[in-house]
Structure 1
Amino acid sequence: MAGIRLLISDFAMSFMWVWSGVLIKMFVYHNLGLGHEPSGEIIKCALSVVNMFFFAFLAKITKGGAYNPLTVLAAAISGDFSNFLFSVGARIPIQVLGSITGVRLIIETFPEIGRGPQLNIDIHRGALTEGLLTFAIVTISLGLSKRIPGSFFMKTWISSVSKLALHILGSDLTGGCMNPASVMGWAYARGDHITKEHILVYWLAPIEATLLAVWTFRLLVRPSKEGKAGTKSKSD
């Protein structure tokens, strides 16, 4: 039952995530009429942070619901094999399906909307960019969840600002997505979801970066744990 609840939460949150990004842009650019003015960008960034707080709250009340396959993958690598199979075989496909459904409804509702994130540099630089951005945000997320004490508000604030900063850094290059499911939704709508560029830049590179971040984090935190254990044994 818990697994079914997670799948429903993943689908709903993935659906809502692609919609939230579009609605924020439409509100700032069309409703407020600010376009790409500095004030418009500031308002968009502020709303994006609020939006990430909302989704962090949803993840908390759904007990683990997620809209990003990389979040699920990072947790699955650290868990048991059955959890890994469930995450890779069920949760990630459901997140992709939620994103595809959300984007399709967006295009039907707002035909004039953009075409989503696209690669503006060559494939190798794009893969490196998405990989580095993903490595950074996964490392930050692991540190916040496992090593850094603090309140839900403070951790979410650090995570949200970090994601926003990394997104801005990569927005002109690859879109700064760090979310394969969201990109897949737009790529499927454009019909280029099975191209080499999409698979390498928006799937393989982020997945490899996630694996590397998790393994690197384990290596970095292990000495501190062993050191604490050694200190405790000496005191005993």
Structure 2
Amino acid sequence: MGSKIKLLASDMIMSLMWVSSSVLIKRLVFNVLGFGSDAKGEVFKCGVSILNMFFFAWLSKVTKGGAYNPLTVLSPVFSGGFSTFLFTVGARIPAQVIGSIAGVRLMLDTFPEIGRGPRLNVDIHKGALTEGLLTFAIVSISLGLTVKLPGSFYMKTWISSFSKLTLHILGSDLTGGCMNPASVMGWAYARGDHITKEHIFVYWLAPVEATLLAVWTFSLIFRSQKGEKAKVKAEKSD
């Protein structure tokens, strides 16, 4: 029980920190360091963002599984036990949402002039498709890295961080390229539109369904590859 409470506390604190970090990075780059919204400023912001993702990957390792994204904790439980699934859906994800809401509120109270977070700039169908495809891509990449680079923290984090940043940029003008329902929930709650059909379909249902599809597809392909390797090995032994 103690380990679960620590995990919930880690999820909540990391979610608060993650939401806050996106605001703080922008203020550091554009307000403190004085970069403009040109190529040089954007490149520097991307570099800081990757360092930030390395920091959170290290936090996840230190906290033994702490996470700030519901999709991260959903991926493994789809193939796990029912009790783990209940704990994740009923406790960990709500903790992440609460942490994100607290983080957004903290940033709005500290910097009232900041924007109001990611918004849907296309119709609901295109938005759901965009978030779904982005989520499918990043979950597939993460699962692949887990299998191909099981012990390489730096290489795995570098590839994952660069992939997340690239996918975020690709979807930023359409949906915000979030791939994180908890963070979007924090901003949507602050705006008062967290229970709208657009928010639920685009930022929750589409990513969750894409995560489930990515896990199912990966397990199918990986199982097929393992079967082929076993068949080849058996033929060689004969």
The C-alpha deviation readout for 1:169-214, integer Å capped at 9, x for no partner, is 0001100000000000000000000001100100000000000000
What is the aligned partner in structure 2 of residue 12 from structure 1? Answer: 13
Instruction: Give aligned pairs, total.
Output: 236
The equivalences for 1:32-181 within 5 A come to 32-149=33-150, 151-181=152-182
Partners of 2:36 and 2:220 lie apart in 1 by: 45
Counterpart of 2:68 in structure 1: which amino acid? Y
Q: 1:127 to 1:5 in 2, by over 3 A?
A: same
Tell me, what secondary structure is at the counterpart of 2:78? helix
Tell me, what secondary structure is at the counterpart of 1:111? coil
Q: Tell me how far 1:227 sits from its aligned partner.
A: 2.0
Q: Tell me how far 1:230 sits from its aligned partner.
A: 2.6
Q: Tell me how far 1:150 sits from its aligned partner.
A: 5.4
The C-alpha deviation readout for 1:82-138, integer Å capped at 9, x for no partner, is 111100110000000000011011111110011000011111100000000000000
Partners of 2:165 and 2:171 lie apart in 1 by: 10
Partners of 1:22 and 1:172 lie apart in 2 by: 18
Residues 108-117 or 144-153, more deviating: 144-153
What is the aligned partner in structure 2 of residue 3 from structure 1? Answer: 4
Q: Tell me how far 1:80 sits from its aligned partner.
A: 1.1
Partners of 1:187 and 1:149 lie apart in 2 by: 36
What is the aligned partner in structure 2 of residue 22 from structure 1? Answer: 23
Identity of aligned residues (%): 72
Counterpart of 2:167 in structure 1: which amino acid? L
User: How high is the TM-score relative to the length of structure 1?
Assistant: 0.97
What is the aligned partner in structure 2 of residue 190 from structure 1? Answer: 191
Structure 1 unaligned residues grouped into runs of 5+: none
Counterpart of 2:24 in structure 1: which amino acid? L
Counterpart of 2:147 in structure 1: which amino acid? K
RMSD: 1.1
